[in-house]
């Protein structure tokens, strides 16, 4: 059926209207699109240009140079050394296993290193370098470099690593560094972005840990251009960071080495202090360990050897160890009694070998007793009954107050790990901590440094320095930071009358120089170097009534861990004190036989600033001393002073 002209006209008008509507819609859409494009390209151009730039340019942190650590004479004890290593890039290597096999024919690779490398290569992006091995010798690095054409993807690099040239001597003082762990990040409230860098190392124990903020420094940064998959194309800019501060300790490395060497074969600790400044000249714990093994990652076998050793080489006994001070505590009890006015300088107490308190008997170490005993004799021969008697008169509260005044029962602020507070017990302490009332027997035990009383070798050295100087001298380990001497405030007086201190000092002089003194066998013959001291023996087991009736077992007849601890404290010269020393030998037996000889040798080494002449020793001991000096494992080299800094 044909359409009429009218129908055609209507159809034409309809199509025209639709075309106009559709065309208008298209024009409107194009207009809107144009406006949006103008907004994006003109008005927001700067913002998108910045986003594009940030996508193309990365900012990466540059680890700062870790500060160095020196002894008091400027000898380095913690340095940064070059570390030669080999890396591999998977996309350049092709057949990774074949390339590593070729590499292993040039340098020795452990099976564990190969397995770890293959795992890392698969886990990381193809263009990311993976360390195959490190700490190569120059010869090994040269072999790799010469054969580079046959080792696709292999690159020789020079990195840096922490090194401890004195090894065992400073392990417990300086500590060591290691990779940042999840535990480390978890205990830091606002972690430094540096800590997120793979394999970045921080201090784990000792000075390295406690002075981490000073030693670490602050990071630098570099701007690098990367492509769409993140591969580095070029470095655009670099800003170096601020290096960490150099530290100088108060320790003398030669004396420290002697202290460690002299304690060889023992489970022991020793501390040497300057009586005037409080500078710690040596602070040793034996046996020790090599901190360099921890920097790289200690093996399971090496770590097991350390943890299974009954002498506990990982523990820093000089500050962490808390021991009953035994008779080295008697000066505290005597001073408390003198100051309280319950004891006169010339007063005597009769010692029959025991002291009865109610239905309990407290024994003196000398079964037959010491007879009539005054203050001087009580210290010289270490009579227990004298202190049982005067402690009942003065009471535990005044004894504890005097102990704290002399440096016991307090934690000193030193940059070392787990510094012990020790314990100077009181009535309130026992009531609060044990839920029990204080007993008179507790006072008797405390008066001779047994019972609840605990002290570290550091605290005993501080006590001795304060007795020698009459001032509240405090220990110091950091001498300077970046060459700036750390200010030392002159110590205040103890507030103890000189006549009381002099009475105690006379007793300590008798201990080492009177024929009946408990340390006469460890005396110093050189007149200008003679020392004052006090022996101590602290029990680690209870002696039963039956054992006393049958005869107390000798320490030599007991298992090592049941023997008494041996202690000795001293200062010298006795007429012009310069140094104070404390020695604790775990399960060493008697203080006079185990600890005093070690302390005497350390004191002489400190005073002479080297091995003392044999004339400083008693004539009948000189041959034995000469043989001992020859056998000591002393260092015979002077570590080189670094000429520049390195990045750790």
Mapping DSSP to helix (H, G, I), strand (E, B) and coil, where does residue 407 land? coil
Alpha carbon 99 to its chain centroid, in Å, reads 43
Q: Band of the pLDDT at 642, cuts 50, 70, 90?
A: low
Range with top average pLDDT, 10-24, 131-145, 308-322: 308-322
Confidence class of residue 555 from pLDDT cuts 50, 70 and 90? confident
Q: Using CA atoms, how far apart are residues 480 and 567, in angstroms rounded to an integer?
A: 32
Q: Which residue has the higher pLDDT, 144 or 334?
A: 334
Scored b (16 or more CB within 10 A) or e, 184-200 reads: beeeeeeebebbeeeeb
Residue 75 has pLDDT above 70, yes or no: yes
Would you say residue 492 has pLDDT above 70?
yes
Q: In this structure, how many other beta carbons lie within 10 angstroms of the beta carbon of residue 505?
A: 21
Find all residues with CB under 8 Å of 405, minimum gap 6, and list them.
Answer: 472, 494, 495, 496
pLDDT in tens, 207-217: 999 999 999 98
Give the model's pLDDT for residue 542. Answer: 64
Q: Which residues are catalytic?
A: 327
Tell me the average pLDDT across 88-96: 85
Give tens-digit pLDDT for 301-336: 999 999 999 999 999 999 999 999 999 999 999 999
CA 132 – CA 209 distance, rounded (Å): 29
pLDDT at 116 over 90: no
Both tokens assigned to 624 = 């034995």
What is the pLDDT at residue 648? 32
The pLDDT of residue 281 is above 90: yes
Q: Is the pLDDT of residue 572 over 60?
A: yes
What residues pair up with 41 in beta bridges, in sequence order? Answer: none
Closest CA to 74 of 252, 207, 243, 208: 252
Per-residue pLDDT at 371 exceeds 90:
yes
Q: Is the pLDDT of residue 645 over 60?
A: no
Under a CB-based contact definition with an 8 Å cutoff, are residues 256 and 634 in contact? no
C-alpha Rg value of the chain to the nearest Å:
37
* CB 545 within 8 Å of CB 359: no
Share of the chain above pLDDT 70, in %: 87
Q: What is the pLDDT of residue 238?
A: 78
Least confident of 395-404, 478-487, 538-547: 538-547
Note the helical H segments in 90-230: 90-93, 96-106, 111-123, 138-146, 171-174, 182-186, 206-210, 212-216
Confidence of residue 156 (pLDDT cuts 50, 70, 90): confident
Q: What is the DSSP string of 508-525?
A: HHHHHHSTTSTTGGG---
Distance (Å) of CA 556 to CA 177, 561, 588? 41, 11, 9
Q: What percent of the chain has pLDDT over 90?
A: 63
pLDDT at 171 over 80: yes
**In the structure encoding, which two tokens stand for residue 218, read together?**
């602050």
Mean pLDDT of 384-402: 97
Stated pTM of the model: 0.84
When mean pLDDT is compared across 173-187, 264-278, 358-372, 419-433, the lowest value belongs to 173-187
Residue 468 CB partners (closer than 8 Å, separation 6+)? 275, 505, 532, 571, 577, 580
Q: How much is the average pLDDT of 416-431?
A: 96
Using CA atoms, how far apart are residues 516 and 518, in angstroms rounded to an integer? 6
Q: Which domains does the chain have, with CATH numbers?
A: 48-65+175-249 (3.90.1310), 78-158 (3.90.1310.10), 253-294+315-478+491-631 (3.40.710.10)
Q: What is the pLDDT of residue 377?
A: 98
Alpha carbon distance 165, 134 (integer Å): 19
* Residue 522 · residue 599 · CB < 8 Å: yes
Higher model confidence: residue 89 or residue 199? 89
- For the chain, give the mean pLDDT: 88
pLDDT of residue 228 exceeding 60, the answer is no
């Amino acid at each position: 059926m044909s359409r009429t002209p009218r129908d055609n006209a209507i159809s034409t008008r309809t199509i025209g209207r639709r075309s106009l509507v559709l065309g208008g819609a298209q024009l409107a859409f194009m207009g809107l699109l144009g406006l949006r494009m103008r907004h994006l390209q003109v008005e927001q151009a700067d913002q998108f240009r910045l986003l594009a730039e940030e996508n193309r340019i990365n900012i990466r942190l540059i680890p700062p140079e870790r500060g160095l650590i020196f002894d008091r004479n400027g000898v380095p004890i913690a340095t940064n050394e070059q570390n030669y290593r080999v890396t591999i890039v998977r996309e350049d290597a092709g057949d990774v296993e074949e390339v590593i096999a070729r590499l292993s024919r040039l340098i020795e690779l452990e099976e564990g290193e190969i397995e770890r490398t293959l795992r890392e290569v698969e886990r990381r992006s193809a263009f990311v370098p993976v360390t195959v091995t490190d700490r190569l010798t120059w010869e090994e690095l040269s072999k790799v470099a010469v054969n580079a054409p046959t080792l696709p993807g292999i690159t020789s690099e020079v990195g840096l690593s922490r090194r401890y040239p004195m090894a065992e001597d400073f392990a417990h003082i300086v500590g060591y560094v290691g990779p940042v762990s999840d535990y480390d990040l978890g205990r830091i409230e606002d972690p430094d972005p540096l800590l997120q860098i793979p394999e970045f190392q921080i201090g784990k124990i000792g000075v390295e840990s406690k002075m981490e903020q000073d030693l670490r420094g602050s990071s630098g940064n570099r701007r690098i251009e990367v492509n769409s998959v993140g591969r580095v194309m070029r470095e655009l800019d670099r800003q170096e960071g601020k290096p960490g501060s150099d530290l100088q300790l108060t320790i003398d490395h030669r004396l420290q080495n002697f202290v460690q060497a002299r304690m060889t074969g023992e489970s022991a600790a020793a501390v040497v202090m300057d009586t005037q400044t409080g500078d710690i000249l040596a602070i040793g714990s034996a046996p020790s360990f090599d901190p360099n093994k921890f920097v790289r990652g200690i093996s399971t076998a090496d770590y097991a050897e350390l943890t299974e050793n009954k002498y506990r080489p990982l523990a820093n006994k000089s500050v962490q160890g808390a021991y009953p001070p035994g008779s080295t505590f008697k000066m505290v009890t005597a001073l408390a009694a003198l100051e309280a006015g319950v004891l006169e300088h010339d007063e005597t107490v009769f010692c029959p070998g025991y002291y009865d308190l109610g239905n309990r008997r407290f024994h003196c170490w000398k079964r037959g007793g010491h007879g009539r005993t005054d203050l001087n004799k009580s210290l010289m021969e270490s009579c227990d009954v004298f202190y049982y008697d005067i402690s009942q008169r003065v009471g535990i509260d005044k004894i504890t107050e005097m102990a704290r005044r002399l440096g016991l029962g307090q934690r000193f602020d030193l940059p070392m790990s787990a510094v012990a507070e020790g314990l100077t017990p009181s009535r309130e302490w026992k009531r609060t901590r044990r839920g029990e009332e204080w007993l008179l027997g507790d006072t008797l035990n405390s008066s001779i440094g047994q019972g609840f009383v605990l002290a570290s070798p550091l605290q005993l050295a501080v006590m001795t320095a304060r007795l020698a100087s009459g001032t509240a001298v405090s220990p110091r380990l950091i001498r300077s930071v970046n060459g700036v001497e750390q200010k030392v405030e002159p110590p205040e007086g103890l507030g103890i009358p000189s006549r009381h201190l002099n009475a105690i000092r006379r007793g300590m002089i008798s201990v080492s120089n009177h024929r009946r003194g408990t340390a006469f066998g460890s005396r110093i013959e050189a007149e200008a170097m003679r020392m004052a001291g006090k022996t101590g023996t602290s029990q680690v087991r209870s002696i039963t009534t039956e054992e006393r009736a049958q005869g107390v077992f000798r320490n030599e007849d007991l298992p090592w861990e049941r023997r008494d601890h041996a202690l000795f404290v001293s200062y010298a010269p006795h007429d012009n004190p310069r140094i104070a020393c404390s020695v604790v030998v775990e399960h060493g037996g008697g203080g006079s036989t185990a600890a005093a000889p070690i302390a005497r040798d350390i004191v002489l080494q400190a005073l002479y600033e080297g091995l003392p002449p044999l004339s400083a020793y008693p004539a009948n001991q000189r041959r034995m001393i000469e043989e001992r000096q020859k056998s000591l494992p002393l260092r015979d080299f002077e570590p080189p002073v670094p000429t520049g800094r390195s990045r750790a």
